[in-house]
Structure 1
Amino acid sequence: MAAELNVRFRIRANAEREHAGHDGKFAHRKSVDVVRRRGEHLVRDFRRVTAVCRNLERDDSISAVESAVAGQYGAAVVEQRQEAIGQLAGGVAHDFNNLLMVIKGYGDMVLEEVRDQHELAEQVKEICIAGERAAALTRQLLAFSRKQMLEPRVVNVNDILRNVEKMLRRLIGEDVELTVEQDSTLGNILVDPGQLEQVIMNLCVNARDAMPTGGSLSLKTSNVTIDGEYVSDHPGFAEGEFVQLRVEDTGIGMDEQTKTRIFEPFFTTKEKGKGTGLGLSTVHGIVKQSGGQINVYSELGKGTVFNIYFPRIDKQVSSSSHGGDGVATLRGTEHILLVEDELNVRTLIRKALERHGYRVSEAEHGQHALDLIDAEEGIYDLVITDVVMPRMGGVELIDRVRKLKPEMKFVLMSGYTEHALIQNGTIQEHVTFVNKPCQPQILLQKVRLTLDKGNGQ
């Protein structure tokens, strides 16, 4: 695995000492540095790895240390490779989302114009369907690369399971027996509920495909405490109180080589045309971006277990807001400042807004928008802004405008963002999020809802 990335390492024992353990037996502790070779450069990690090798000879202790470090370093290499692929995938998906927003947006607008022309309408509809499929693919890429726009809420995993159980039973088929075991004392977690549903669906589809002749699939929730001993054996985990979701199947299982690659994008063991190889990589990305951890246990012929852990929090479940998404009208006469650096995207949104009665001013980036607001104070009812733009991005723009006009309302658009304020959801109280690519109808609905907030509607 390491050789594929041209990364090599060696282990050097720096010090050795003996001490008596709690049981009175002596153990050898080896403190080592990990030295990696990247191309022609040596990089010393100075990761001090201590191995306790009870009842071993001194020479065997060095070997044990080398094995332990090799295993942990191999896992780090896999993580680095996934991050590199994720950076590439996220960048491509971001640019692709802007193109898709134009394709899907104009497709929807044309479809409204030609609905009475049956043959032409069917052709345009196929364009819209293809655009939606492409958008679904970019969402998977963004999930893997951990750059999705998340809207985290306090939820209980038991509630999520109840919401999707009926759908899951239809999804996995009659030849797979589904059992759901819920801990009645289960704690709450902070996640995007829609993304958690996606995680559950993907894992269940993966389990179904691993049981072509039928079998058993079980979902179980529980409260768990992760201690130091578990953390030492599972790099990346932290001590604390967690909620665990366990997904176990009786399928064909995996060998060790397959297990090390299951979270890689586009890796699949299915026949050509039977899978994209993004299902489990999407799961991995969502869990990681949500602050969770995931591990997998599997044996050939014995099935697979996925364990997912989310930090437990002491907060009440958030009330759902999905029921109030309907609006009486998409039209309005308010003045909107549209901030978007991509000309084709900006033109599409402006046309959609103007067709529904809004007055629109345009800015190419955050600094341009700030200049307009300074020059024409008090004339804008709403700011629609992208996140990633030159000179000044959307998040900084919101912060700056808030200081000048605390009452200003915002709609923030993005296919993804790496900004911490977005990832931890700290600005959601006064900003409406819209994921790119979105249909003009969805954007118009969000605009109307945002404008009506606080107006007694």
Structure 2
Amino acid sequence: MKDDPKGERSLQRQKLEALGQFAGGIAHDFNNILSIIEGHTHIALRQLREGALEPGQLEKILTSTQRGAGLTRQLLSFGRQKIGVEEKTNLAEAMRQQHILLLPLLGETVQLFMTVPEDPVWINASPDQLTQVILNLALNARDAMPSGGELAIMCMACQKRHIPAALREKNPAASYIRLSVVDSGLGIPADILPRIFEPFFTTKDQGKGTGLGLSVVYGTVDQLNGMIEVSSVAGEGTSFDIFLPVAEAPPQALPAGKTPSGAGLAGKTILIAEDEPELREMLT
């Protein structure tokens, strides 16, 4: 075999360009979050000096820090397969919470419609995993509607005949729910559609997106033993359909009078190991 220095240099250049695009997108996203936190902190401090602090300012700061933490979790889950202790989450309740979070993020030009089951829908997933899926798809839909539009997020039971064949073969006895995220945006061109779940792939301008959002959604759904399908029509919009296996309801809460095992730790000394001074001070 012959050395191919030109080919190696070309590959290295492509890697550096991808890394630069990735770093620029991350920097842009974090800068937006920090700018929001800084702005609302200044407003809160001014209100505090005037003796008229509005709780809403602190809530906006908290929401923005949660967005920053979510972005960090995206990076961590992208970099490795995250398999933790099995956790069950009520998807219906998670959707209600997301409704509150999404309204300010979508803006005034995007109308949000949610169809949420009245009864609990239990999924073998953490609240954070469901948040990543819903939030990333919703923000992707928002960006596809620069002039505004409609976004519908729906959860419904899935009949056997509508379950993808691959899932039926994998687990014939399982019941599934379908989580659909549908927008009235620009649509995804047919030549781009096969690539949308690729890491770092983005059609946004440099510095305006990481290209990680949809790849994180795909990876998370796969971890949850589900499947995602997408259909799109240019000029009409895009639909993401996620199929997730339904879990059994978790055990009921502890009966009255019972205390969790951790209650016996009262009065004990706990060692906190944290290398960030401000975090250590806050925790103590």
Q: Could you say whether these structures have the same fold, taking a TM-score greater than 0.5 normalized by the shorter chain as the test?
A: yes
Q: CA deviation at 1:257?
A: 2.1
Residue number among 168, 171, 177 corresponding to 2:102 in the alignment: 168
Counterpart of 1:210 in structure 2 is 144
Paired position in structure 2 for 1:193 = 127
The within-5 A match list for 1:199-348 is 199-227=133-161, 230-231=164-165, 238-239=171-172, 240-316=174-250, 331-332=269-270
Report deviation, 1:142: 3.5
Task: Quote the offset at 1:198 in angstroms.
Answer: 1.7
Distance 1:241 1:300, change over 3 A: same
Structure 2 Cα separation of the partners of residues 161 and 229 of structure 1 = 22
Q: CA RMSD in A?
A: 3.9
Q: Taking structure 1 as reference, are residues 260 and 145 closer, same or farther at Cα in structure 2, changes over 3 Å only?
A: farther
* TM norm structure 2: 0.61
Structure 1 Cα separation of the partners of residues 79 and 227 of structure 2:
15
Structure showing the higher strand proportion among its residues: 1
1:2-17 superposed matches below 5 A: none
Q: Which has the higher contact order (CA 8 A, sep 6+)?
A: 2
Following superposition, the deviation at residue 236 of structure 1 comes to: 8.5
**Structure 1 pair 330–301 and aligned structure 2 pair: CA distance change class (3 A):** farther
More helix by share: 2
- Mapping 1:13-52, distance limit 5 Å: none
Q: Distance in 2 between matches of 1:166 and 1:137?
A: 19
- Note the alpha carbon deviations across 1:368-412, whole angstroms, 9 max, x for none: xxxxxxxxxxxxxxxxxxxxxxxxxxxxxxxxxxxxxxxxxxxxx
The code of the aligned residue for 1:284 comes to: Y
For residues 210 and 225 of structure 2, what CA distance do their matches in structure 1 show?
A: 25
What SS does structure 1 have at the residue aligned with 2:146?
Answer: coil
The residue identity in structure 2 corresponding to 1:283 is: V
SS at match of 1:260: helix
Q: CA 1:178–1:237 in 2, change beyond 3 Å: closer, same or farther?
A: farther
Q: Secondary structure at the match of 1:179?
A: strand
CA distance in 2, matches of 1:440, 1:199: 31
Whole-angstrom CA distance in 2 between matches of 1:201 and 1:229: 24
> 1 CA distance for matches of 2:153 and 2:105?
15
Offset, 1:190? 1.1
Quick check: 1:154 aligned with 2:88? yes
DSSP 3-state at the match of 2:228 = strand
Match of 1:180 in 2: 114
1:188, CA displacement in angstroms? 1.7
Q: Check the 8 A contact 2:111/2:151 in 1, yes or no.
A: yes
The 8 Å contact of residues 237 and 293 in structure 1, kept in 2 or not, is answered as: no
* Pairs aligned (count): 209
- 2-side partners of 1:133 and 1:181: how far apart? 24
Amino acid at match of 2:194: T
Q: Secondary structure at the match of 2:231?
A: strand
Contact 1:154 1:317 (8 Å CA) reproduced = no
> What is the rounded CA distance, in whole Å, between the counterparts of 1:268 and 1:329 in structure 2?
53
CA distance in 2, matches of 1:167, 1:305: 21
Quick check: 1:254–1:300 contact (8 Å CA) kept in 2?
Answer: yes
Q: Any gaps of 5 or more consecutive residues in structure 1? A: 1-88, 90-131, 337-348, 356-438, 446-457
Closer, same or farther in 2 for the Cα pair 1:141/1:189, shift >3 Å?
A: same
